[in-house]
Amino acid sequence: MRDPRDVVSYAEAGVDLDVAEALTARLKSVVDSTRTEGAGGEFGAFGGRFRVDGATDLVASADGVGTKVLVAAAAGVHDTVGEDLVNHCTNDILAEGAEPLFFLDYFACGHLDADVAEAVIGGVARGCRHNGCSLLGGETAEMPGVYEPGTYDLAGFIVGRRIWDLPPKSEVRPGLTLIGFPSTGLHTNGYSLARRVLFDKLGLRPADPFPGTEATVSDVLLRVHRSYLKALRPALDEEAVTAMAHITGGGIQGNLRRVLPEDVTAVVDTGSWSPPIEFEVLGKESGLASRELFSALNMGVGLIVVAAHGRERDVIASAASEGIAAFECGRLEAGTGHVRLAGI
Amino acid sequence: MRDPRDVVSYAEAGVDLDVAEALTARLKSVVDSTRTEGAGGEFGAFGGRFRVDGATDLVASADGVGTKVLVAAAAGVHDTVGEDLVNHCTNDILAEGAEPLFFLDYFACGHLDADVAEAVIGGVARGCRHNGCSLLGGETAEMPGVYEPGTYDLAGFIVGRRIWDLPPKSEVRPGLTLIGFPSTGLHTNGYSLARRVLFDKLGLRPADPFPGTEATVSDVLLRVHRSYLKALRPALDEEAVTAMAHITGGGIQGNLRRVLPEDVTAVVDTGSWSPPIEFEVLGKESGLASRELFSALNMGVGLIVVAAHGRERDVIASAASEGIAAFECGRLEAGTGHVRLAGI
C-alpha cells in the first residue's frame, strides 16, 4: 500500500513535461522546413503569425483543454469545457497582440452521444460569442478504439488579427513592473495532478464538497478559464502594455520566460497574492515542493502583463473595468532570461 | 458464433452516420449564433469562409484522419498520417476555391513517445511542404485516461486564401459533366469498417498480404490521401471548373450533393470506372449492399469536378499534367438535389 503522504510527482501523475520539452526542441527544424513567405513570429510564441497580402497580420493557435475533459465527463457537465477552450485560445493570441476573428473545433469520442456533443459544442459557441469570434466550422469524429469508453477530447483552433502592435522583445527591459491577473481556478492545466490527488488519493467524487470550501469538487475544477480580452482591451488601446504571458502548462516559470530577452530576469514576488484554497489543498495533499507546484499549476495567476514604463495604474484600471483585481506581482531585473520565484 | 457471411453494417462497425447527421442539423443554429461580420459561406460547405479587412477571403477547415491512426499504430508506421491530414484539409478548402496558407496540428496521446510524435508531426510537415503551406503551430497533449494505451489522435486545422472565384451554386446546372479524380485508396474514410473486416473478420495482421494483391495490408491501408491541389490548379486558373466535391465521409452521395442546387440531380455512372481491388475485397467480405458501401468508402474516386460547360477536356488535361487519369463519370440533370448512382 502506498504511503498517503507520498509525493505525487507530476511525471507520476502521468505527464512528463521533460519529454514534452525535448520534443518541442526536436520539432523546431521540422517546423522551420515548412516556412513560406507569409510566416512570421518566433517558434515557441503563444501564437503563430502569418501575414496575408502584405498587410493583414494573422495570429493563429491550436490547443486543447487537457484532462479537464475527464472531469467534465465524470461530473456529467459537458457545456463548459468548450468555453474553456475558446478562452484559452483567445488569451494565447491576445498575448501576441491579436483579437479573435474565427474559431474551429475538433470533437472526438469513442461513441457519439449527440446530447453530449451538442452540449460541448454549445459551450464552444458561447465562448465564441463572448469573445466576438465566429465559429466557422468544426469536425465531429467517432473513433471507437482510440478513445476510452465514455470519454472524449476537444481541440480548438483560433485565428485572430494582430491589431495591437506590441513592442519587440528587446523593449522588455529591467525596471518594468509585472502585473498579475487572477485566474478563476486551474483554468486548463494541472488536471492530471488534480485528479490524481482528489479522486485517487483522497477518494473524492465530483459531487463531494471540495475540502475547505462549500462548493463541490466539480464546481471548483470546472470553473471556466477566464478570457482576458475585454480586461486588457483598454490597456492595449492605450499602449500601456509591453508584453503579456498567458500562464498555462509550465506555470509562471515556463510561460513568463517566453517574453524575456536573454539578459533579463523576471522576479515574481509570490507573497504578493494568496493562492486560492484549491491550490493550497493540491499543494498540501500532493506533497509537491512549491517550485514543482508552481510549474504544474497557475497558482491563481492566469496572465501576467509587463506594464509599459510608468503605466502600471493604467493596466490595473483596465482590469478593474471588467471587475478583475489585477495587482503588482514583481519586476524585471538584469539577468539571464529566466523567472525567479521570490519567497518560496 | 457469428455467421462469417453476416453483413457488417456500418453502425455495427462502431460508427453511426445517422446520429452524426442529426447532430449536424442540431448544431446549425448554435453555429449561426456566433456569426460576426466577416463570416460567410454556407453551413455544411467543405470549408468556412471569412473575409478580413473587406478584401482577403479566407477559407478554413478542421479535420482528423479517423481511425486510420489505429492502423498506423498497429503497423508501427507513424510518418504518413500527418501527410494524409494535410492533404485532406487541402482538398477541403480547394473545393471552396482556396489555396493553403498555413496549418496547425493537434496531436494527443495517452503516453507521449517523442519518437512517435516526431514521426507523426514530421508527416504533417512533409504534407505542408508539398502543398506550399506553413506549419504555423501545433499542440502536443499527453492525456492518460482519455486515449487507449498505445493510441493517439491527430487533428488539423488549415487556413487558405480564396484565389479562385468559383461560380455560385446557382450555376451548377443540368447538362454539365462530372469528372472523377482517382483516389489512392481509402484516403481517410471507412477505416472502422476496413479494420472490422480485415483484422476482426479475416484475422489479418498489418504485415500480411492484402487479399488479391502483393502488397501488405498496412501498405494498402496506409496509402497517403491524395492532394488534388496541383492537379486542379491549371483547370482552376483557366476557369474550367464550376464546382468540386471532395469525397470523404458519406462517400459520393454524401459529398457530391453538397454542391447541388435543390433542382439538380447528379447521375454518377458507376460503370465508368472499376473500383480498385481493396474496395472489391471490402465489398465482398463485408457483405454490404453496394449503396451502403458507396456511402462508407470513396470507391476509388477521391474528388469529383463539375466541369464548366464544354471544358471537360481542360479538366482532364489539368489532372493529366500531374499524372492523374481523370475521367467522365456522370452528368447533371434536372432533379431534386440528390445523387443517383446509376448501375448499382
Residue among A34, A58, A134 whose CB faces B128 most closely? A34
Show the cell assigned to B53.
479587412
Cα A273 from Cα A326, distance rounded (Å): 10
Percent above pLDDT 70 for chain A: 94
CA distances from B98 to A67, B58, B65 (A): 35, 8, 21
Q: Is some CB atom of chain B closer than 8 A to the CB atom of A261?
A: no
Helices A68-75/A81-94 angle, 10° precision: 160
Assign B330 to helix, strand or coil.
strand
Residue B23: the pLDDT is 84
- Range A298-304 average pLDDT: 98
Residue among A62, A117, A135 whose CB faces B23 most closely? A117
- Band the pLDDT of A179: cuts 50, 70, 90: very high
With an 8 Å Cβ cutoff, are A108 and B143 in contact?
A: no
pLDDT at residue B199 greater than cutoff 80? yes
The sign of the torsion formed by the CA atoms of B323, B326, B327, B328 equals negative
DSSP string, B219-257: HHHTPPPPP-HHHHHHHHHTT-EEEEEE--TTHHHHHHG
Residue B168: the pLDDT is 95
CATH of segment(s) A37-162: 3.30.1330.10
With an 8 Å Cβ cutoff, are A62 and B35 in contact?
A: no
- b vs e for B46-64, b when ≥16 Cβ sit within 10 Å of the residue's Cβ? bbbbbbbeeebbbbbbbbb
**Residue A210, C-beta contacts closer than 8 angstroms, at least 6 positions apart:** A198, A204, A216, A217, A219, A220, A221, A277, A278, A281
Query: How far, rounded to the nearest angstrom, does the alpha carbon of residue A338 sit from its chain's CA centroid?
Result: 19
Q: Is some CB atom of chain B closer than 8 A to the CB atom of A33?
A: yes
With an 8 Å Cβ cutoff, are B48 and A159 in contact?
A: no
* Chain B residues in contact with A159 (beta carbon < 8 A): 50, 58, 60, 159
Show the cell assigned to A337.
532570461
Cα A88 from Cα A298, distance rounded (Å): 13
β-bridge pairing B56-64 and B152-162: antiparallel
- Range B328-339 average pLDDT: 98
Model pLDDT for residues B40-60, shown as the tens digit of each residue: 777 678 889 999 988 899 999
Residue B19: the pLDDT is 77
Sheet holding A264-269, edge to edge: A241-246, A301-307, A177-182, A327-334, A264-269, A339-342
Higher pLDDT, B198 or B42: B198
Query: If you compute the radius of gyration of chain B from its CA atoms, what whole number of angstroms results?
Result: 20
Show the cell assigned to A332.
524585471
CB B240 within 8 A of CB B308: yes
Residue of B nearest to A19 (CA): B114
Higher pLDDT, B18 or B261: B261
Residue A11: CB atoms within 10 Å: 11
Q: Is some CB atom of chain A closer than 8 A to the CB atom of B115?
A: no
Residue A17: the pLDDT is 63
Interface probe, candidates A29, A43, A104, chain B, greatest B C-beta count within 10 A: A104
Residue of A nearest to B249 (CA): A141
B169-342 is classed CATH 3.10.350.10? no
* Chain A residues in contact with B65 (beta carbon < 8 A): none
Instruction: Tell me if domain B31-162 and domain B169-342 are identical in fold.
Output: no
Residue B9: the pLDDT is 47
Residue among A62, A103, A153 whose CB faces B138 most closely? A62
Residue A343: CB atoms within 10 Å: 11
CB A241 within 8 A of CB A315: yes
Cα A153 from Cα A133, distance rounded (Å): 22
Q: Is some CB atom of chain A closer than 8 A to the CB atom of B31?
A: yes
DSSP string, A219-279: HHHTPPPPP-HHHHHHHHHTT-EEEEEE--TTHHHHHHGGG--TTEEEEEEGGGS---HHH
**A271: β partners:** none
Residue A35: CB atoms within 10 Å: 15
Out of B46-50, B90-94, B95-99, least confident range: B46-50
Residues 118-137 in A contacting B (C-alpha not used; CB under 8 Å)? 118, 121-122, 125, 128-129, 132-137
Cα A111 from Cα B15, distance rounded (Å): 8
Cα B29 from Cα B205, distance rounded (Å): 45
CB B306 within 8 A of CB B95: no
- Band the pLDDT of B17: cuts 50, 70, 90: low
Model pLDDT for residues B243-288, shown as the tens digit of each residue: 999 999 999 999 999 999 999 999 999 999 999 999 999 999 999 9
- Band the pLDDT of A257: cuts 50, 70, 90: very high
End-to-end CA distance of chain A: 32
With an 8 Å Cβ cutoff, are B64 and A105 in contact?
A: no
pLDDT at residue A312 greater than cutoff 90? yes
CA distances from A52 to A49, A99, B92, B177 (A): 10, 16, 20, 35
Show the cell assigned to A37.
513567405
With an 8 Å Cβ cutoff, are B50 and A148 in contact?
A: no
* Chain A residues in contact with B63 (beta carbon < 8 A): 106, 139
pLDDT at residue A342 greater than cutoff 80? yes
- Band the pLDDT of B99: cuts 50, 70, 90: very high
With an 8 Å Cβ cutoff, are B64 and A14 in contact?
A: no
Show the cell assigned to A290.
512549491
Residue B4: the pLDDT is 30
Assign A318 to helix, strand or coil.
helix
In CATH terms, the fold of domain B31-162 is: 60s Ribosomal Protein L30; Chain: A; (3.30.1330)
Percent above pLDDT 70 for chain B: 94
Cα B134 from Cα A37, distance rounded (Å): 9
Sheet holding B327-334, edge to edge: B241-246, B301-307, B177-182, B327-334, B264-269, B339-342
Size of interface A-B (CB pairs under 8 A): 265
Listed by start position, the domains of chain A span 37-162, 169-342
CB B232 within 8 A of CB B241: yes
Q: What single-letter amino acid sits at B67?
A: T
Show the cell assigned to A55.
498587410
Show the cell assigned to B283.
465489398
Out of A261-275, A279-293, B45-59, B191-205, least confident range: B45-59
Interface probe, candidates B116, B139, B151, B189, chain A, greatest A C-beta count within 10 A: B139
Beta strands of A212-326 (E only): which ranges? 241-246, 264-269, 301-307
Interface probe, candidates B58, B71, B102, B248, chain A, greatest A C-beta count within 10 A: B102
With an 8 Å Cβ cutoff, are A23 and B114 in contact?
A: yes
- Range A311-334 average pLDDT: 98
Helix (H) or strand (E) holding B136: strand B134-142
Q: Is some CB atom of chain B closer than 8 A to the CB atom of A44?
A: no
- Range A157-169 average pLDDT: 96
Residue A287: CB atoms within 10 Å: 17
Assign B156 to helix, strand or coil.
strand
Mean pLDDT score of chain A, rounded to an integer? Answer: 92
Model pLDDT for residues A14-34, shown as the tens digit of each residue: 556 677 778 888 888 888 889
CA distances from B269 to B121, B180, B246, B266, B341 (A): 39, 10, 17, 10, 6
- Band the pLDDT of A46: cuts 50, 70, 90: confident
Cα A288 from Cα A294, distance rounded (Å): 10
Show the cell assigned to A248.
498555462
Q: Is some CB atom of chain B closer than 8 A to the CB atom of A28?
A: no
Percent above pLDDT 90 for chain B: 83
Residue B5: the pLDDT is 32
* Chain A residues in contact with B139 (beta carbon < 8 A): 62-64, 155
* Chain B residues in contact with A102 (beta carbon < 8 A): 36, 38-39, 48, 50, 58, 60
pTM: predicted TM-score of the whole model, two decimal places: 0.93
Q: Is some CB atom of chain A closer than 8 A to the CB atom of B48?
A: yes
Cα B268 from Cα B119, distance rounded (Å): 39
Show the cell assigned to B118.
516526431
Model pLDDT for residues A190-231, shown as the tens digit of each residue: 999 999 999 999 999 999 999 999 999 999 999 999 999 999
Q: Which of A49-58, A286-295, B26-35 has the highest mean pLDDT?
A: A286-295
Helices A114-130/B17-32 angle, 10° precision: 20
* Chain A residues in contact with B71 (beta carbon < 8 A): none
For cell 518541442, the residue is A24
Cα B79 from Cα B136, distance rounded (Å): 19
pLDDT at residue A7 greater than cutoff 70? no
With an 8 Å Cβ cutoff, are B159 and A58 in contact?
A: yes
User: With left for phi above 0 and alpha for psi between -120 and 50, is residue B36 left, alpha or beta?
Assistant: beta
Mean pLDDT score of chain B, rounded to an integer? Answer: 92
Q: Is some CB atom of chain B closer than 8 A to the CB atom of A147?
A: yes
Q: Is some CB atom of chain B closer than 8 A to the CB atom of A207?
A: no
Residue of A nearest to B149 (CA): A146
